[in-house]
Amino acid sequence: MMSFILFVFGTIVGSFLNVCIYRLPRNESVVSPGSHCGACGKPIRWYDNLPVLSYFLLRGKCRDCGVSFSAQHALVEFLTGMLFVAFYHFFGLEAMGLIYLIFTLAVLVESLIDFEHKIIPDEITLSGIVLGIILSCFFPMMHGANSWWEGLLASVIGVFIGGGFLYLIAVIAEFFLKKEAMGGGDVKLLAMFGAFLGFRGVLWALMMGSFAGSIAGIYFKFKKKEEQIPFGPFLGLGAIFYIFYGQAVIAWYLNRIGL
């Protein structure tokens, strides 16, 4: 029963995430006006705004003008509901689960925006950095610490390593390639990862993201003839994987080598 309730609530949150994904790249308010059709501008009725269900009941079209809506809307709502359930089963109702869920939802929004528009809004990353640092003081266990100042220190170090390390890589790559290797949004995104996950999470996300991004880059270059692909979604994938499995893998490895 709890899983069902969380799923339904998650789809409602997913509906708001869709608003953020659509409006943030266009510099529009995510608060007002209310949900409306992007083609005809007509407000979407409450009974046409039911997460997931309305998309299928309306066959993916606006009731007023008949223009097709992207299936991404229903997919984001469904995925958000599943994330609520997954975090509940993995963390229970502990504060850590809620913190990591908020972080993951932010990563989901930035990933879809970056994938479509090749930008990462500062509203997500800069706010995320501040929020991550503040939460690290109240919940130092985010970094395996016991006191607020240890949590704060670990978060700040993560921010500087995350942003600074990727910035250094970007500068070196730009020097050799003679063109921009990655945007500043990626640098700030990795700094946000550091605020929540610490330097280990940063390194894990960078390693996994680079591996996944390289494979995807080969595909897009030879199949889609695209020279550049957004790096943010792959970094985000690595960060989310770290939350569920990365910490356990690192702990196992350090124990195995006697550290």
pLDDT at 69: 86
Please tell me the distance from the alpha carbon of residue 159 to that of residue 162, in angstroms, as a whole number.
5
pLDDT tens by residue, 47-60: 888 999 999 988 88
Amino acid found at 36: H
Amino acid found at 28: E
66-87 burial: b if 16+ Cβ within 10 Å, else e: eeebeeebbebbbbbbbbbbbb
Coil, helix or strand at residue 110: helix
- pLDDT by 10s per residue, the chain, length 259: 899 999 999 999 999 999 999 999 999 888 888 888 877 878 888 888 899 999 998 888 888 888 888 899 999 999 999 999 999 999 998 999 999 999 999 999 999 999 999 999 999 999 999 999 999 999 999 998 999 999 999 999 999 999 887 777 767 766 666 665 566 788 899 999 999 999 999 999 989 998 988 888 887 777 766 667 888 999 999 999 999 988 788 777 767 776 6
Please tell me the distance from the alpha carbon of residue 74 to that of residue 53, in angstroms, as a whole number.
8
Give phi and psi for 165, each to the nearest 5. -65, -45
Could you tell me the pTM of the whole model? Answer: 0.90
Please tell me the distance from the alpha carbon of residue 239 to that of residue 81, in angstroms, as a whole number.
19
pLDDT at 174: 67
Please tell me the distance from the alpha carbon of residue 239 to that of residue 228, in angstroms, as a whole number.
21
What would the two tokens of residue 186 be?
A: 């990626």
Coil, helix or strand at residue 27: coil
pLDDT at 176: 64
Cα radius of gyration rounded to whole Å, the chain: 20
Amino acid found at 40: C
Q: Under 8 Å CB-to-CB from 107, ≥6 apart: which residues?
A: 236, 239, 240
